[in-house]
């Protein structure tokens, strides 16, 4: 019976640690860590303003560069424990040749594994399945996407008027 209590105590301690650790991690340190990891992949960020608090990190007027080539400009970008959200995205360079350049919003809920995006390309809904290590995306393309970016739609599987894309990580 003592071993059952010890195992229960250990499981409780691990669970509490997993829940409370993200709350007390410095969001400033977390933001800097992401910037450093991206720099190793030749991705750099330029921004006008960054604000961190106990629960989130907010960046205004963010520009993303890949090997000094512009990829995207994002007016507002916010990362919290439960959500990643970006507003008013304008794609540039090679990214703009693959998709319509204007994206209104992208929201990712990592805990639930949900993805939602809306823009000139249409509407995108997705699911991240952590246990299977896969991402499934469903695109309802706009007429602009169908006409001018049909080459990108080839990567999707067409089914019931929707375009499906599945990838693993």
* Per-residue confidence band for 91, with pLDDT thresholds at 50, 70 and 90: very high
- Measured CA to CA, the distance from residue 146 to residue 26 in angstroms comes to 44
pLDDT in tens, 44-73: 999 999 888 877 889 999 999 998 899 999
Q: What pLDDT score was predicted for residue 144?
A: 95
Q: In the chain, where are the structural domains located?
A: 100-169
Q: Which residues are 74's β-sheet partners? A: 62, 89
Q: What is the mean pLDDT of residues 7-35?
A: 72
| pLDDT for residue 120 | 96
Q: How far is CA 93 from CA 48, 50, 61, 80, in A?
A: 21, 25, 18, 29
Dump pLDDT digits (tens) for 96-145.
988 999 999 999 998 899 999 999 999 999 999 999 999 999 999 999 99
pTM of the model: 0.77
What pLDDT is attached to residue 25? 67
pLDDT of residue 80: 82
Q: Are 102 and 120 in contact (CB under 8 A)?
A: yes
């Amino acid at each position: 019976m003592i071993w059952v209590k010890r195992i229960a105590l250990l499981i409780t301690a691990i669970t509490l640690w997993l829940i409370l650790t993200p709350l007390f991690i410095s969001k400033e340190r977390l933001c800097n860590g992401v910037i450093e990891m991206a720099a190793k992949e030749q991705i750099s960020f330029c921004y006008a303003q960054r604000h961190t608090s106990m629960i989130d990190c907010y960046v205004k007027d963010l520009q993303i560069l890949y090997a000094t080539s512009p990829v995207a400009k994002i007016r507002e970008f916010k990362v919290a424990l439960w959500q990643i959200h970006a507003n008013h995205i304008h794609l540039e360079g090679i990214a703009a040749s693959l998709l319509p350049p204007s994206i209104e919003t992208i929201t990712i809920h990592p805990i639930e594994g949900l993805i939602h995006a809306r823009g000139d390309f249409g509407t995108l809904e997705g699911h991240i399945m952590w246990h299977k290590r896969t991402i499934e995306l469903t695109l309802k393309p706009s007429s602009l996407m169908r006409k001018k970016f049909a080459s990108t739609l080839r990567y999707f599987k067409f089914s019931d008027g929707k375009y499906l894309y599945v990838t693993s990580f």
